[in-house]
A and B are shown apart, each in its own frame.
Chain A
Amino acid sequence: DAMVIQNPRYQVTQFGKPVTLSCSQTLNHNVMYWYQQKSSQAPKLLFHYYDKDFNNEADTPDNFQSRRPNTSFCFLDIRSPGLGDAAMYLCATSRTRASGGPNEQFFGPGTRLTVL
C-alpha cells in the first residue's frame, strides 16, 4: 500500500542535543510538509517542499531545518531542542500545492518527541 512512513515513532532527546526525524513516502507526491502538533492544538505548518523548492513559514524558528535529498525522503533537523519543542511532528504529502481544490494531504503516523 502506498503510504507515508515516519521513523522513529517515539524519540527522546536531551535539552540542546540535535535530533533528526525522518519521513518517507511511496505515493510519489511532489509536495512534502512538516507539521508540529502540540496537545489539543491544530497542526502547525513548519515548512514544505515542492519538489526541491524549500518553503519556510515566516514564524518557524531557525532551530528547525529540513532536507529533502530525493522525492521519497524528507528530514526534520532540530538543532538545539528546547523543552518547548516537545510535540508530535507530522509529515504529510500532497500531489501538488498549486490547486484551489481539496489538495488532500496524506499524513504519516507522526513522531512524538520528548525533550528531557
Chain B
Amino acid sequence: GQSLEQPSEVTAVEGAIVQINCTYQTSGFYGLSWYQQHDGGAPTFLSYNGLDGLEETGRFSSFLSRSDSYGYLLLQELQMKDSASYFCAVRDFNGGFKTIFGAGTRLFVKA
C-alpha cells in the first residue's frame, strides 16, 4: 500500500529553525513535494525534490533521500506568518501518475 507519515504538530519560536520530517512508502515513487496551507486558505506549492539532496528556496529548503524513503522541509528564520499546516506529497506512478498527500503537520510559531 501507499502511506506517508509526518508529525501532526510542531511548535517553534520566532527566529528559530524547524524541520518537518516525512517518511513514505509507495510503489512507484517519483518525487516529493511540499505544500503550505494557512487556516481557511488554499494549499500552495513550496518545493519539489525529484533527486536526492537539498533544494533551497529562500528561507525554505527541502531534502530528499530516496534510499531512506525520507524527506524533510526546513524552515529558517521563522516568522509568525509561517504558522500553517505543511503537507508532504508524493508523486507516484502506478499505472498512471498521481499525487498523494500526507495528513499534514501543523506548525505553531510563538513569539
Interface residues of A (CB under 8 A from B): 4, 40-43, 45, 90, 92, 97-110
Contact A101 B42 (CB under 8 A): no
Contact B45 A99 (CB under 8 A): no
**Minimal beta-carbon separation of B4 from chain A (angstroms):** 8
At the interface with chain A, which of B13-21, B74-82, B95-103?
Answer: B95-103
Q: What are 13 sample pairs from A and B whose C-beta atoms fall under 8 A apart?
A: A40-B104, A40-B106, A42-B102, A43-B43, A45-B98, A100-B30, A100-B91, A100-B97, A103-B97, A104-B45, A105-B99, A107-B42, A110-B42
Q: Which residues of chain B are within 8 angstroms of A97 by Cβ–Cβ distance?
A: 96-97
Contact B103 A41 (CB under 8 A): yes
Judged by DSSP, the binding face of A is loop
Interface residues of B (CB under 8 A from A): 4, 8, 30-31, 33, 41-45, 48, 50, 87, 91, 93, 96-99, 101-104, 106
Contact B103 A102 (CB under 8 A): no
Q: Which residues of chain A are within 8 angstroms of B93 by Cβ–Cβ distance?
A: 100
Interface centre among B43, B45, B103, B104 (most CB of A within 10 A): B43
For B9, the closest partner residue in chain A by CB is: A40
Contact A98 B97 (CB under 8 A): yes
Contact B31 A42 (CB under 8 A): no
Q: Which residues of chain A are within 8 angstroms of B44 by Cβ–Cβ distance?
A: 107
Contact B97 A102 (CB under 8 A): no
Contact A109 B41 (CB under 8 A): yes
